[in-house]
Amino acid sequence: MGTGVAVVMNERLARYSFGDGHPFGPDRLAAFTREFEARGLDRRVQLLEPRTASDEELRAFHSAPYLEFVRERSASGSGLLDAGDTPAFRGVYEAAAGVVGASLSAMEAIMRADCRRAFVPIAGLHHAARDRAAGFCVFNDCGVVIELLKRAGLKRIAYVDIDAHHGDGVFYAFEDDAAVVFADLHEDGRYLYPGTGASGETGRGAATGMKLNVPLPPGSDDEVFEQVWPRVMAHLGRFDPEFIILQCGADSLEGDPITHLRLSPRAHGHAARALRELADQLGHGRVLALGGGGYNRTNLAQAWNAVVENLL
Ligand SMILES: [Zn+2]
């Protein structure tokens, strides 16, 4: 043991959803799991039960007043958590803390060397800011994982994001933080939410030059991905990260109902394999892949399972 891949999930993760008919519906987990089992991947990975995140862990990234706000909306089950994309529902606090807990369980398994790499399907909620929800994201599990890795003493943590949307919640929270090496391929913000992530946004202060944003024109396909991916690898290669997070949102695939990129699952598989190889070259092997967006159920099943296969 200790050399393989863990997948962290259980039925409770599906509770993080905004209802039947919403793009982020409860059926996304089942769509992944059906394909995962059809490919026999459930017999080739360690399946780990997620835990839930404590309030103290959530406070490592989120502000106390924001946590209190979510707790109130979660009890009433009504209203919105942001300007319009992210409705409250009864139990949303616990469901969102469950997502963070799943990502923490995966991170801890890697850090204990119970596995080298891990994947969490319902995770990678990269739009949530320290003090607010945004774009279907209530708690930012990526941000909590990064903060706790820093507390554990890591000095260089890489965050790579191939979701169609810019990972603004992670980017702005760590824009001036030299512990976070950031690389994000996304649909150009002039055409897609959240509108940020221009190529000139390269970090501030001590982290100037440590953040790579690559906006892609609508319609970009695997050929474009292959042209720009080496920039991500060159960027990471300058910093020798001790831990690599991949937010592998499947909404960058052709046929997603809310975006306009045209990647195939091969891009996601390629990214996972390249990051795995880099992590192995660096000697630690640590890669944590988080599902992220993806609203075409066939696409998310194909892209995420390609990631798992290429982490094996
Ligand atoms: Zn997205």
Q: Please report the pLDDT score of residue 174 as a whole number.
A: 98
Q: Quick check: 269 pLDDT over 50?
A: yes
Ligand 1 midpoint to CA 238 (Å): 27
- Counting Cα atoms < 13 Å in the Cβ hemisphere of 299 gives 26
Over the range 19-46, which residues count as b (16 or more CB within 10 Å of their CB) and which as e? eeeebbbbebbebbbebbeeeebeeebe
Residues 154, 205: Cα–Cα separation, whole Å: 20
pLDDT band at 295 (very low <50, low <70, confident <90, very high): very high
Q: Quick check: 1 pLDDT over 60?
A: no
Q: Quick check: 110 pLDDT over 50?
A: yes
Q: Please report the pLDDT score of residue 219 as a whole number.
A: 98
Taking the whole predicted model, whether its pTM rises above 0.85 is answered as yes
- 126 has catalytic annotation: no
Instruction: Say how many C-beta atoms besides its own lie within 10 A of residue 157's C-beta.
Output: 24
pLDDT band at 84 (very low <50, low <70, confident <90, very high): confident
pLDDT band at 85 (very low <50, low <70, confident <90, very high): confident
Q: Please report the pLDDT score of residue 168 as a whole number.
A: 98
Ligand 1 midpoint to CA 247 (Å): 10
- In 116-196 the beta strands, taken as DSSP E runs, fall at 117-120, 157-161, 180-187
Ligand 1 midpoint to CA 151 (Å): 28
Ligand 1 midpoint to CA 61 (Å): 21
85 or 158, higher pLDDT: 158
Point out the catalytic residue in the list 62, 126, 127, 260: 127
103 touches 16 (CB < 8 A): no
pLDDT band at 276 (very low <50, low <70, confident <90, very high): very high
Ligand 1 midpoint to CA 4 (Å): 28
Ligand 1 midpoint to CA 141 (Å): 15
Instruction: Say how many C-beta atoms besides its own lie within 10 A of residue 241's C-beta.
Output: 25
What does the pLDDT average to over 270-291?
Answer: 98
Q: Please report the pLDDT score of residue 83 as a whole number.
A: 86
Q: Please report the pLDDT score of residue 32 as a whole number.
A: 98
Give the tens place of pLDDT for each residue, 17-31: 998 889 999 999 999
Q: Could you tell me if residue 238 is left (phi over 0), alpha (psi between -120 and 50 degrees) or otherwise beta?
A: alpha
Q: Please report the pLDDT score of residue 2 as a whole number.
A: 58
Ligand 1 midpoint to CA 194 (Å): 9
What does the pLDDT average to over 227-238?
Answer: 98
What does the pLDDT average to over 47-59?
Answer: 98
What does the pLDDT average to over 79-91?
Answer: 92
Ligand 1 midpoint to CA 1 (Å): 34
Ligand 1 midpoint to CA 113 (Å): 30
Give the tens place of pLDDT for each residue, 176-223: 999 999 999 999 999 999 999 999 999 999 999 999 999 999 999 999
